[in-house]
Amino acid sequence: MGLQEDSRQLEEDDRRYLWLPFTQMLEWEQETPVIIVEGRDCFIRDIYGKWYLDGVSSLWVNIFGHRKKALDDALRNQVDRISHSTMLGLSNEPAIQLAEKLIACTSRGLTGEEKAGTVDMQHAVSRPSSALSRVFYSDNGSTAVEVALKMAFQYWQHLGEQDRTSFLSLNNAYHGDTLGAVSVGGIDIFHKVFEPLLFRTFRSPSPHCYRCELGEQYPDCGLSCAERMEEVLREHHRQIAAVIIEPLVQAAGGMIVSPPGYLKRVRELCTAFNVLLIADEVATGFGRTGRMFACQHENVVPDIMCLSKGITGGYLPLAATLATENIYRAFLGEFKDLKT
């Protein structure tokens, strides 16, 4: 077959065999699919030779662009040695090297000290938030969030706080498409249909100044959205394992940028009420907000951080869930304790 015939066959096979994410396939089957065969820098080319600007960076993962020689060469060199080795009972050189670099990157510019702020309550505490020091690998952002949720829940179970079985998340939040991640999500178009399958989650208003849920104006509002979070934590903190947020930007929710001081205030509240803070930096990490990680804009150290997307520049599926030494040590024990 010639080029045109090959291309049409690909289009037919696409309609016959593929099921695309977040796509109404009835409409897709009636259109001519755009089938990509090549990428170069920030451009991608289809089967007919037409070039496009990859304006979404292949959904926010290609932070360096396509076909970067340094990345191509590194991938080839690793494949020449070994392509995969389990981390169940084994370790490997790249995993160790990357973990060290991730910890160094997340520590840069952060003091690791967070105070209880202005919350004046009998149960409030003022304790240092230890730096992120441990890396748990997985393969995608949703799974990184699942790991974080399970890690936070299990942490409190190991400490004997059996009632901490819920989480607090924001309206307009997006943390992935697996069931745990959907449970802490807050976008109806993605999540509403799955409600019967989801675990209980407390909600707090989105820090959406342009369309404030509370009808107020920043900065006169005094961060009323954070005050609502404080109310939830005051009443339910003994049931909540962690607060999970997308620091600085709720990306899938509409690129909602939180106002200055909001992220730091959330950290203060979590410290005051002795609740873990999970920072989902899957979309914001690796320079997307102008710093390596969004938390660094307000010198906030989360207890757990979720990373993916830009971590490999879009070359391979990879994710990491970073945790503090305090959390890591809660899992240490004899094998019979089943704390892994």
* Cis check: omega of the bond before 196, within 30 degrees of 0: no
- Percent of the chain past pLDDT 70, that is, above it, reads 93
Is the confidence at residue 118, as pLDDT, over 50?
no
- Mean pLDDT over 25-42 rounds to 95
**Nearest partner of 282 among 306, 263, 302, 314, judged by Cα:** 306
Q: Which residue is it, tokens 């949720």?
A: 149
pLDDT tens digits, 55-76: 999 999 999 999 999 999 999 9
Q: State whether CATH 3.30.70.270 applies to domain 3-79.
A: no
Is the confidence at residue 115, as pLDDT, over 60?
no
pLDDT tens digits, 212-238: 988 888 998 989 999 999 999 999 999
Could you tell me what percentage of the chain is helix, strand and coil, using 3-state DSSP and rounding each to the nearest 5?
Answer: 35, 15, 45
* Res 110: pLDDT: 63
- Mean pLDDT over 22-44 rounds to 95
Instruction: Give 212's Cβ-side CA count (13 Å radius).
Output: 16
pLDDT tens digits, 190-216: 889 999 999 999 999 999 998 998 888
* Alpha-helical regions (H) of the chain: 3-17, 25-28, 57-60, 69-79, 93-107, 141-158, 179-183, 188-191, 224-236, 262-272, 325-330
Is the confidence at residue 339, as pLDDT, over 80?
no
* Res 114: pLDDT: 45
CB 259 within 8 A of CB 280: no
The conformation of residue 66, written as its DSSP 8-state character, comes to B
Amino acid at 227: E
- Mean pLDDT over 264-270 rounds to 97
Classify residue 239 by burial, with Cβ atoms within 10 Å: 0-12, 13-18, 19+.
middle
Is the confidence at residue 123, as pLDDT, over 50?
no
What is the model's pTM? 0.92
For the chain, count helices (H), then strands (E).
11, 12
Extents of the domains making up the chain: 3-79, 93-337
Distance from C-alpha of 95 to C-alpha of 309, rounded to nearest angstrom: 17
Is the confidence at residue 120, as pLDDT, over 60?
no
Query: Could you tell me which residues come within 8 angstroms of residue 324 by beta carbon, excluding any fewer than 6 positions away?
Result: 129, 130, 131, 132, 133, 134, 301, 303, 304
4-13, 118-127, 312-321: lowest mean pLDDT where?
118-127
Is the confidence at residue 138, as pLDDT, over 80?
yes
Q: State whether CATH 1.20.120.140 applies to domain 93-337.
A: no
* Res 335: pLDDT: 82
- Mean pLDDT (the chain) is 91
Residue 2 binned pLDDT confidence (cut-offs 50, 70, 90): low
- Mean pLDDT over 274-280 rounds to 98
**3-state secondary structure (DSSP) of residue 288:** coil
pLDDT tens digits, 139-169: 999 999 999 999 999 999 999 999 999 999 9
